[in-house]
Amino acid sequence: MSPVGLRVDVDTFTGTREGVPALLDLLEAAAVKATFFFSVGPDNMGRHLWRLARPAFLRKMLRSKAASLYGWDVLLAGTAWPGKSIGRELAPIMRRAQEAGHEIGLHAWDHYAWQAHAGRWSDRALIDQVRQGKECLEDIIGQSVTCSAAPGWRADTSILSAKQALGFRYNSDCRGGGIFLPLLSDECPGTPQIPVNVPTFDEMARPGLSMNSFNELILERLTASHYGVYTVHAEVEGRSMAGGFEQLLKRAAWRDIDFKPLGALLPEDVHRLPTAHVIRGAVAGREGWVGVRHT
């Protein structure tokens, strides 16, 4: 069957320090290479999670046991003290992922700020955020960073048009099926998008959903579709749900699912890819708007 893209989103300091080494071990044992999208600037993610502390979200947090899913240290990061710089303190862990043969891409300079403000930022502010993150990650890994994934899938036509200035080889900024060229503000096709088409664990988490049934559901989806890109989070699958992810990797191998870094899915001749718009839409289980492929 066709290869399935596997991306690891790393949003926080704790996710980098603890989740990434655990995931590197699991992936090595399964002989799988993935794409790691790193956040390299300040970790203010606690602010993001508490900003959402509306009653409905609080109920969901309690129901889905967010504290046990993410850990209190993740929920509190950057709330009471300035966010720690992830790249400055944890660069060796990012280099370990690179040395293990995984593809390295940029997730964020400041994940919280992007999720909270990217929809309102000027082109200049958007470009500055991405450039700062890209340069920092390039300093860390000593080579050029050729792919990125917008935090929280917060991307639309004007955000993608601004990101165009950074010259990535591909981006994975939105949700939807199939690789395509996004139409930018001037209606010209931009850098290829490799969208995510399968839900994440935190989107599906609800009482009574065991890790086993979640894994089966995901593997069914990946087996049934001719296109698949799956996302795990260092904060979740690298920590409280590591056992479940280990099982998913084993069962995927039984089903001959061939996980690859996202870059390996890109065709040689990208100019022949279909074009589509990226618009603001919604994904079940995810707070706020996300970029979605609009045919």
Comparing C-alpha atoms, which of 149, 16, 8 is closest to residue 85? 16
Q: Closest Cα partner for 59 from 200, 207, 201, 232?
A: 207
Nearer to Zn ion, 181 or 235 (CB): 235
**Using rule CB under 5 A, residue 110 touches Zn ion:** no
Contact 256, 286 (CB under 8 A): no
User: Rounded distance, CA 74 to CA 78, Å?
Assistant: 9
Does the footprint of Zn ion cover residue 11 (CB under 5 A)?
yes
Q: Where are the beta strands (DSSP E) in 109-241?
A: 147-148, 170-171, 181-182, 229-233
Cβ proximity to Zn ion: between 150 and 184 the closer is: 150
Instruction: Write the binding mask 132 to 151 for Zn ion: x where contact by CB under 5 A, - elsewhere.
Output: -------------------x
Report strand pairing: 181-182 vs 170-171: unpaired
Please say which residue, 176 or 257, places its beta carbon nearer to Zn ion: 176
Q: Which stretch binds Zn ion (CB under 5 A): 10-18, 69-77, 207-215, 250-258?
A: 10-18
User: Is residue 246 near Zn ion by the rule CB under 5 A?
Assistant: no
Name the minimum Å distance from CB 10 to Zn ion: 8
Query: Contact between 9 and Zn ion (CB under 5 A)?
Result: yes
Contact region for Zn ion (CB under 5 A) — 7-15, 53-61, 97-105, 119-127? 7-15
Q: β-strand 35-39 against 103-108: which pairing, if any? A: parallel
- Output 151 or 192, the one with its CB closest to Zn ion: 151
- Which stretch, 1-9, 14-22, 153-161, 282-290, contacts Zn ion (CB under 5 A)? 1-9
Region of residue 48 (left: phi > 0; alpha: psi -120 to 50; beta: else): alpha
Provide the minimum distance between the beta carbon of 188 and Zn ion in the complex, in angstroms, as a whole number: 28
Binding of Zn ion at residue 156 (CB under 5 A)?
A: no
Q: How far is the CB of 152 from Zn ion (least distance, A)?
A: 6
Cα–Cα–Cα angle for 11, 16, 18, rounded to 5 degrees: 125
- How many amino acids of this chain bind Zn ion (CB under 5 A)? 3
CB 156 within 8 A of CB 278: yes
Round to whole Å and give the CA distance between 180 and 190: 9
**In this complex, which beta carbon is closest to Zn ion, that of residue 105 or of residue 151?**
151
Q: Which is nearer to Zn ion, 116 or 183 (CB)?
A: 116
Residue 184 or 241 having the CB closest to Zn ion: 241
- Residue whose entry in the numeric block shows the structure tokens 């899938």: 153
The binding site for Zn ion (CB under 5 A) comprises 9, 11, 151
